[in-house]
Amino acid sequence: MFDLKKNQSILFLILPADKGRATVVLDKDDYEKKVSDMLGDRKTYEELKKDPMPVYKRKLVSVLTRLKDEDKISNDMYFHLYPTSEKIPQLYCLPKIHKKDVPFRSIVDYTGSIGYNTSQFLADILSPLIGNTEHFVKNSRHLAEEIANLEVDTDDILISHDVVSLFTNTPVKESLDIIRINLEQNQVWKDTTLLEIEDIMELLEFTLTTTYFSFRGQIYRQKFCTAMGSPVSPLVANMFMEHLEQKPYSTAPVELKPKIWKRYVDLRSGEKRFRGHTRRFSQQLG
């Protein structure tokens, strides 16, 4: 029997496709060319001449040390957040086999990077602020419950909108402004942390702008928008979408307003969803 795993010219992946489950076989050269072409977009990515991790690490340690000295985080939390690993986030891509020309979904394995634990820490703080609008749904079952008693007319139309590359299209500055307002207006987050708003904003800005990753030994930086693979990025994107939809929905004329409007953002990070698959990629591509 022909063993694909022993054929070094073939990239063999077993992964859940975006729609259903499938076994995907890709030619290694085709895969690398497609990823390289994507990274060649100089408006979005730039090649770095050296690893920026030491600079980022010093900055994060400085902030964490100050927070510990001010008794805003415990010694245990300080050592939990302290970046002991110096792993560079790795970029991988998954094929969207249900779409024309099989585009790739970019995945950054953020696990073990210097900011991973801090990003998860921030996600825990921000999570109580998510899902407090009438438009939020957490999963398909929640959606089914929301529309169970909806009366549908014969001329009603169901429309589904999809944001392309949500994380890499979520602006950092605007998102930080929105989060600051939410933190000021809804202080439920104070039940989970002793940090002040300025502390949270400082850590958030650091996490969202630490957008470096590696592919085939070359380090790149994503020039704008939130970091791929960071646990806090889905929450930030969700809060931005909540803000984005609020004004047009609330100000639309009654005759133009949708009968119902629901929004779903996967709050699991790409790293968490595909961790097992990215490890398999690493073994095959490394």
Secondary structure (DSSP) of 38-81: HHT-TTTEEE-SS--HHHHHHHHHHHHHHHHHTTSS-HHHHHHH
Would you call 240 exposed, middle or buried from its count of C-beta atoms within 10 A (0-12, 13-18, 19+)?
A: buried
Select, from the ranges 53-62, 142-151, 152-161, 249-258, the one with the highest average predicted confidence (pLDDT). 53-62
How many angstroms separate the CA atoms of 119 and 110, rounded?
10
pLDDT at 7: 55
pLDDT at residue 282 above 50?
no
- Specify the number of domains making up the chain: 1
Domain with 157 in it: 4-285
Mean pLDDT of 48-58: 94
pLDDT at 274: 39
The model's pTM is 0.81
Could you read off the pLDDT of 70-100 as tens digits, one per residue?
999 999 999 999 998 888 999 988 787 777 7
pLDDT at 138: 83
Could you read off the pLDDT of 155-211 as tens digits, one per residue?
888 888 887 777 778 889 999 999 999 999 999 999 999 999 999 999 999 999 998
Average pLDDT, the chain: 83
Structure tokens at 101: 């020309």
pLDDT at residue 269 above 80?
no
